[in-house]
Chains A and B, each alone.
Chain A
Amino acid sequence: SQTIHQWPATLVQPVGSPLSLECTVEGTSNPNLYWYRQAAGRGLQLLFYSVGIGQISSEVPQNLSASRPQDRQFILSSKKLLLSDSGFYLCAWSGQGVNSPLHFGNGTRLTVT
């Protein structure tokens, strides 16, 4: 069966520090991969998606970047965190089919101080 791992679960970082969140998927190949952010009391915002290695698309301009160095690895990064980057970050994967649902990791709670 397929599983998705996301870490760390919680992270407290000072403003201006770098960020690296990692997500890996097991049990499937060539998944679509996604990074979402969920701010307190708000819905989910799609940040990045990837349909293949090295292929990253950004939905919104921001202080963050994403990379996909391997088929089942998706990394969210920042060179210098802002206070507004605080939130709950969720990685997800889906199959290639039109009706494939997303499967989410357990999320990372990021607090920028």
Chain B
Amino acid sequence: AQSVTQLDSHVSVSEGTPVLLRCNYSSSYSPSLFWYVQHPNKGLQLLLKYTSAATLVKGINGFEAEFKKSETSFHLTKPSAHMSDAAEYFCVVSGFSGGYNKLIFGAGTRLAVHP
């Protein structure tokens, strides 16, 4: 069975400082992993995905994530936070079951960015 745990429900940073959003996963086989961002009252936007190629994945808006199999982690980082990064972020693990992509969503991490 697959699962995903986002270790922080809320993260607060100052503008211009680094961002770290933590995610651990559990999977019985090599997973596909994703990070999504959701701004208030909007749909989810794909930030980046890991699909067993390079372990360091670069996404949109300066975000990147590193797949660490030994630690079963897929943490999301950004060197310098911008006010527009304030949103909710979801870590997602994917499995293929019954002919469709069964995505398991984490509970989300709300990122606040202060001036």
Contact = CB atoms under 8 A, between A and B. Distances in A.
B51 interface: yes
A90 B43 contact: yes
B73 interface: no
Contact of B105 (A43, A49, A99, A109): A43
B43 A105 contact: yes
Interface string A74-113: 0000000000000010101010001111111111010000
A24 interface: no
Contacts of A32: 100-101
A16 B45 CA distance: 33
The interface residues of chain A, by DSSP majority, are classed as strand
The interface residues of chain B, by DSSP majority, are classed as strand
Contacts of B44: 44, 90, 92, 102, 104
Interface size class of B (residues with CB under 8 A): 20 to 34
A6 B71 CA distance: 39
Nearest to A4: B43
Contacts of B105: 43-44
A109 B101 contact: no
Contacts, number: 57
B34 A104 contact: no
B103 interface: yes
Given A32-B100, A51-B100, A98 B32 contact: yes
Interface of A: 6, 32, 34, 42-44, 46, 49, 51, 57, 88, 90, 92, 94, 98-107, 109
Top 8 A-B residue pairs of the complex, sorted by shortest distance between their CB atoms: A104-B43, A99-B51, A104-B44, A106-B43, A99-B32, A98-B96, A44-B105, A43-B107
15 contacts: A32-B100, A42-B107, A44-B90, A44-B105, A49-B100, A92-B43, A92-B44, A98-B101, A99-B32, A99-B49, A101-B94, A102-B103, A104-B44, A104-B45, A107-B42
